[in-house]
Homo-oligomer: A and B are copies of this chain.
Amino acid sequence: MRPGYGRGPTPYGDAVTAQVIVLNGGSSCGKSGIARCLQAVLPRPWLAIGVDMLVEAMPAAMRASDDGIEFAADGGVLVGPEFRALELAWMAGVAAMVRAGARVIVDDVFLGGAASQDRWRQALVGLDVLWVGVRCAAEVVAGREIARGDRVGGMAASQADVVHDGVAYDMEVDTTRAESLACAREIAARVVGTEG
């Protein structure tokens, strides 16, 4: 994380070093569970904002059109130019929330790997970000997808590796054998440890 940040007071009291925690991982790898556990274990309130929220905010028509997002039969996700434009505005908005004093946990799926991270990096420029990769073995994630019962089959497996392509992390967690809460505690230790 960037040195020299975090000396001024915020609406919430003393400054902390990490203002944003970005969780990146494939579908069903456990990001949103980790985000909720982070909210429970971190001493101050953090907002949890996921890409699911952005998709929900989009017009229904964009989920099934060339301009929007499309869920392919093999579980892949295709994103069109209109989606991309709204996504950039969304990222700018999330960054502004942080600049206005909110702590934010971002939960995303970097379908474009390093290019996705670059987009977030530009949006979050000047802010202290903890980049966290959330891994899970492909066969485990495929099983969890079946257990959840609410996703297109194969989405998890198709995303398991590609979302980490060329992405740089401050730390990584692996939910293959670790519980969400244990992963959250690992992450929180990093955040709180850098407070000061």
> When chains A and B are docked, how far (Å) is the Cα of A45 from the Cα of B89?
12
Assess whether B40 is in contact with A59, with CB atoms less than 8 Å apart: yes
A144: chain B residues at CB < 8 Å are 33, 179-181
> When chains A and B are docked, how far (Å) is the Cα of A88 from the Cα of B95?
14
A177: chain B residues at CB < 8 Å are 177
> When chains A and B are docked, how far (Å) is the Cα of A71 from the Cα of B170?
39
- A53 located at the interface, meaning its Cβ lies under 8 Å from any Cβ of chain B in the complex: yes
Question: Looking at A47, A143, A147, A182, which has the most chain B CB atoms within 10 Å of its CB?
Answer: A147
> When chains A and B are docked, how far (Å) is the Cα of A76 from the Cα of B101?
28
> When chains A and B are docked, how far (Å) is the Cα of A157 from the Cα of B102?
32
- A97 located at the interface, meaning its Cβ lies under 8 Å from any Cβ of chain B in the complex: yes
Assess whether A47 is in contact with B146, with CB atoms less than 8 Å apart: no
> When chains A and B are docked, how far (Å) is the Cα of A62 from the Cα of B34?
18
- A162 located at the interface, meaning its Cβ lies under 8 Å from any Cβ of chain B in the complex: no
- A100 located at the interface, meaning its Cβ lies under 8 Å from any Cβ of chain B in the complex: yes
Binary B-proximity of A131-149 (CB < 8 A = 1, otherwise 0): 0000000001001101111
> When chains A and B are docked, how far (Å) is the Cα of A101 from the Cα of B139?
34
Binary B-proximity of A92-135 (CB < 8 A = 1, otherwise 0): 11111111111000000000000000000000000000000000
| 15 more A-B residue pairs beyond the given contacts A92-B96, A177-B177, with a C-beta to C-beta distance below 8 A | A11-B89, A33-B147, A33-B148, A36-B148, A36-B149, A37-B143, A40-B59, A45-B62, A53-B53, A53-B57, A60-B149, A89-B100, A93-B95, A140-B179, A147-B179
